[in-house]
Chains A and B, each alone.
Chain A
C-alpha cells in the first residue's frame, strides 16, 4: 500500500524525536527547579564516587595501616583513619557502593543496584500490586488488604525493623526484605488513593467496554498514569531506606562486618568521639545525612515543578 509506506517513513523519525523530546522535557523540568538541581548534585556525587570507587582512592576499604589509627585528615588519608587504621574516605565511598550501586548476595555474587534501591523496588512491586487490587476492585477485597496493612503500620517502624532483622539474621538480602515489609503499606496506600481517582476516568470505562481483563486495566491503563507521584514517593523512600540501613548497621543488625557499612562505622567510631578523634563517627553521619537530604530536595523540587506544569 503506497499510502501507508509514505506515512510510515516520517513516523519512524517521529518516534525517535519524540523520545528525545520527552527526555529533554523531563530534564528541563528538573533543571527549572533550583532545589532539585542541588539535590541532584548531591545524589550524583555519591552515585559517581561509589560507582567508580577504585578510581577515587588508592586504598581498599579493608586495608589496615597499624601505624596510623584514629587519625584526622591528612595528605595520606584525606578524611583520616579509623581505629584499625583503615582509610575513612575509602570506607565511605565503598559503603555508598553497597547502598546505591551494588548489592552483595553472597561473597562473590553482587547484584547491580544498591541495597536501598532494591529494597524500594521490591516494596514498590508489592505495594503497587496491593494498592491497585484494593483500589480497583474495592469492596471487601479492599477492606481486607487495607486493614492488614493498617495493622502493619501500627507497629513502630524501628521496632518492626529490629524484629525482622533479629528474626532473619543480618545480611543484605534480609535488609532488602525488611525495607520491603516496612515500605509496602505506605506505597500501597498511595497507589490505592491514586487508583481510586484514576479508575473513574472515562478511558478506564473505555477499556472495560472493550472487555479488557482486570490485570490489564490495572497495570497497563491505571499504573502508567499514577507514575508521577509514585516516582517522587520512591525517591523519598530511598532516603528512608538509607536511613534505615544506617540505623540497622548502627545496631549491628545491618550488613555484616568487615564490609564497609555507614551505620556500623558510626557505631564503632562513637567510642572515640570523646577521646579526641570524632572523625570515624562524623564522616559516615554526614554521608547519611547528605544523601537523605539530597534525595528529599530532589523529590521536593520535582514535585513542585511538576505541579506548576499542571
Chain B
C-alpha cells in the first residue's frame, strides 16, 4: 500500500477502532471513535483535521496521558505486538519502556527553563539506560550535532531561553530521538514557528526519519505541512476518522466531502482572488455534546448530504485497497451533484477594475518607528548613558492607492505590526511623514481629529481578545457608531443589525456575549466593528492566522466581499504567503524593519526575486504533493533590530550573494543596496543586478510525472 521508498511494512503501532471518552459533569463525551491506522518503521502517518477533532486525544490515548477524566472505552492499540489497552500503569511502563517519545507544539514548555540543556538531555539517557553521566553527555552532544545545531559544546551549558524557538524545537527533537525510540508522536511540532524555521525543521524530520527508521505520527492542522512529511494520511473530523489512505492518493482523489472541502478552502501559493475563489465549509466543527448521534457526523455541513445520510452513521467504505472513506457515496462522490447550492460571491473579478490611480489614499515616506531600549548600566541610571533604539521600522516608504489592498509579509520580528501601529497612531512615529487622504497624520491617535480617526480602522489577530468579554456583541458594534455619529441616534440599532448582516451573522447575535461565539464568529464581529465607522482604510493584522482553515476561507471571502461593497482600501498583514498572495493587489516584503521588495502581487511571486522573498516562497508548505518546490533555506534567525547588520541587512543570511556577486558579495556587508526597479513598479532592494535575478528559476514548479 506504500509508494516506493518506504521500508516493508514492519508494523510498530496498530490502532484499531479506538474509542475514547471524557467524563464531564454532563455525562460522557465521545472524544474519539472509530479510529484505525497502522504505522510501520520508517513511515510517517499524518493526522489532520481542524481544532477540536480529537487529534491530540488520540496521541494522548496512545501514551496513556488522558488525565483523570479520560478513558479508552473500546478498540485496541498494539505497540510492537503488545496490547496497550486495559493494562495498568505499571505494566504499560514495562511494555512501552522508553520506546515511545513525544514532541509537543511549544518547545518553551517542553524544556525546563531552570536546568541547563545538557543536563536535561543527559538525564533522558541516565534515567532510562544504565549508563554513566559522562557517556550520556557524549551521546547528547552527538545527537545535537545530528539535528544540525551549531556550536554544540557551548550549547550544552546554556538555558532554554538563551536559544531561539527553532533551536529549542531542535533540542526537543534531539531529546525525543536520544533513546532511539520505535515510535515518535509529534503534536503540531512546527505550528509555533516561522515559515522559514518550520521548513528547516521539516527537512530535519525527513532526514531523521531516513536515518533512524522510527515510526512517526505527525499531528497537524496544516495541510501543506502534512503534504511535505507524511506517507499516509488520516483525516479526522469531530472525533471520527473520516478518510484514510496514502498521501498522494488522498490529495489527488479525495473521497470524503470534508477532505474535499479542506483542500478547496486553502489558497494554493500563486492563486489570486482575480481568478479563483475559496470555498469555505459552512458552519463549524460541532462541540462534542452537539454531535449528531444518528446521522453522518458531517451531514449538517455537507454539500452532498441527502436524506440517506441522515439515517445512520456511515461506516468506512473502501475506495481502493488502503484508501478508506467514511461516506456512503465515497465511490461516486466525484460525479454527484451538490444537493445544496453555494452562495456565490459575486463577480470577484469585478474588483480588478480599480485602476492604478494617482490618487493615493495613504502615503508614507521614510517612516521610522523606534523603541528606546533601557540600558541596565549605572551610567544610564543617571540619564547619561547612550540611548539605544530598537529600530522596528526603519526608513520605509509606501503608498496605498484608493480601493487597493497592500499585503505585508515577513517573518515575525520584521516590523510588520510596528509599521501599522505607527500608521494608526498607537505607537509614536520617530521620523518620516505619513499622509492620509492628503492630511498630515504624524501624531498619535489621541491627538488626531475624530474625522481622521474614523477613516482608519483595524481588524485584529486574536479572536479571543478582540472583543470585550463584558459587553454584548450589539453594544460593541454600536459604540463606534455612536462615537463617530455615523447615523442619527435613533437608527443605531438598525445600523448594527445591518452590519451584522453584512458580516453574515443573524440579528439574534445582537444580545450575545463574546464567550457564546466561536472564533470565526468573533472575528466577524471584529470586522463589523471596524466597518461601523465606514472607514476608507481597514488595516488587518493577521486577521485569519488564529482561525481554522475552513473558517479562515469564509472570513477571507467576507473581507473580499466587503471591500467590493464598501470600496475600502486595505492593508493586510499575514505570515501565510499563500493567503497574502490571494488577497492582495500589491505586496511589500519586510525584513528587519525595511521593505526589501515591493510590487504588484503577481510580480512578487515570479522572478526576479529578492533573495529573501525567494527563500520565504520556497519555505511555504504547499498542500499539494505534486508540486515541486525549490529548497532554499535560510540559516539562523532574524538578527536583533537593536543592532542591525551593516550594509544590506539581509547579508548575514543571504543565500545568493556568494554565488551571484563578484568578490563573494563583500559589497553587501558595507554598502546599503540600491533600489532596482523593474517594469510595473516592481522594486527590489538588492546589490545583485536585476538581469542576474531574472535568471533564477521560479520557486514553484508543478511536477508533470506521476509518482
Contacts and interface: CB of A to CB of B under 8 A. Distances in A.
Contact of B453 (A7, A202, A209, A214): A209
A211 B494 contact: no
A10 B465 contact: no
Contact of B497 (A3, A203, A221): A3
A202 B450 contact: no
Interface of A: 1, 3-4, 7-8, 10-11, 14-15, 18, 201-203, 205-206, 208-214, 221, 224-225, 227
Contact of A1 (B425, B471, B479, B494): B494
28 contacts: A3-B494, A3-B497, A4-B493, A8-B493, A10-B508, A11-B507, A11-B508, A14-B508, A15-B511, A201-B465, A202-B461, A202-B462, A202-B465, A202-B466, A203-B468, A203-B476, A206-B466, A206-B529, A206-B530, A209-B424, A209-B426, A209-B445, A210-B479, A210-B483, A211-B448, A211-B483, A224-B468, A224-B470
Contacts of B72: none
Given A211-B446, A221-B468, A224-B470, A205 B458 contact: yes
Pairs of residues from A and B, 5 with the lowest C-beta to C-beta distance, nearest first: A224-B470, A202-B460, A211-B453, A201-B465, A7-B507
Nearest to B450: A211
B426 A205 contact: yes
Interface residues of B, number: 36
A18 B472 CA distance: 11
Given A203-B476, A210-B457, 4 more contacts: A8-B493, A209-B453, A210-B533, A211-B446
Nearest to A22: B513
B159 interface: no
A202 B522 CA distance: 12
A4 B462 contact: no
Contacts, number: 73
B466 A4 contact: no
B371 interface: no
Nearest to B494: A4
A227 B462 CA distance: 22
A225 B494 contact: no
A143 to B, nearest CB: 13
Contacts of A208: 426, 445
Contact of B460 (A11, A15, A205, A211): A205
A186 to B, nearest CB: 24
Nearest to B501: A3
Interface in B454-488: 456-458, 460-462, 465-471, 476, 479-480, 483
A295 B464 CA distance: 33
Contact of A14 (B458, B467, B511): B511
Nearest to A15: B511
Contacts of A205: 426, 458, 460
Contacts of B448: 211
Contacts of B507: 7, 11
A205 B417 CA distance: 12
Nearest to B466: A202
B329 interface: no
Contacts of A227: 470
A211 B445 contact: yes
B460 A18 contact: no
Contact of A203 (B424, B465, B511): B465
B104 interface: no
User: A-side binding surface: helix, strand, loop or mixed?
Assistant: helix
A3 B507 CA distance: 10
A202 B421 CA distance: 12
A73 to B, nearest CB: 45
Contacts of A203: 465-468, 476
B465 A210 contact: no
B497 A7 contact: yes
Contacts of A210: 453, 457, 479-480, 483, 533
B510 interface: yes
Interface in B426-460: 426, 445-446, 448, 450, 453, 456-458, 460
A177 to B, nearest CB: 31
A4 B450 CA distance: 29
B458 A206 contact: yes
Contact of B468 (A209, A213, A225): A225
Contact of A209 (B457, B471, B476, B493): B457
A188 B536 CA distance: 41
Contacts of B460: 202, 205-206
B436 to A, nearest CB: 13
Contacts of A209: 424-426, 445, 453, 456-458
A15 B493 CA distance: 14
A8 B450 CA distance: 30
Interface in B484-530: 493-494, 497, 507-508, 510-511, 526, 529-530
Given A7-B497, A11-B510, A18-B511, A212 B483 contact: yes
A227 B468 CA distance: 13
Nearest to B533: A210
Contacts of A10: 508
Interface in B620-641: none
B439 to A, nearest CB: 15
Most buried by A among B425, B458, B529: B458
A173 B362 CA distance: 60
Contacts of A15: 511
Nearest to B453: A211
Contacts of B511: 11, 14-15, 18
Most buried by B among A202, A214, A224: A202
A120 B480 CA distance: 35
A133 to B, nearest CB: 16
Contact of A4 (B480, B483, B497): B497
B20 to A, nearest CB: 23
Contacts of A8: 493
Nearest to B446: A211
B544 to A, nearest CB: 15
A295 B27 CA distance: 33
A214 B466 CA distance: 18
A98 to B, nearest CB: 35
A209 B530 CA distance: 10
Given A205-B426, A206-B529, A225 B461 contact: no
A4 B530 CA distance: 22
Contacts of A206: 458, 460, 466, 526, 529-530
Nearest to A5: B494
Nearest to B529: A206
Contacts of B471: 224
Contacts of A213: 446
A3 B506 CA distance: 12
A224 to B, nearest CB: 4
Contacts of A212: 483
Nearest to B507: A7
Contacts of B446: 211, 213-214
A14 B424 CA distance: 37
B542 to A, nearest CB: 11
A209 B426 CA distance: 7
A50 to B, nearest CB: 33
Nearest to A214: B446
A221 B466 CA distance: 12
B294 to A, nearest CB: 29
Nearest to A227: B470
A131 to B, nearest CB: 17
Interface in B97-139: none
A224 B493 CA distance: 23
Most buried by B among A8, A11, A203: A203
Given A8-B493, A206-B460, A225 B470 contact: yes
Nearest to B25: A32
B55 to A, nearest CB: 24
Nearest to B447: A211
Most buried by B among A7, A214, A225: A7
A256 to B, nearest CB: 43
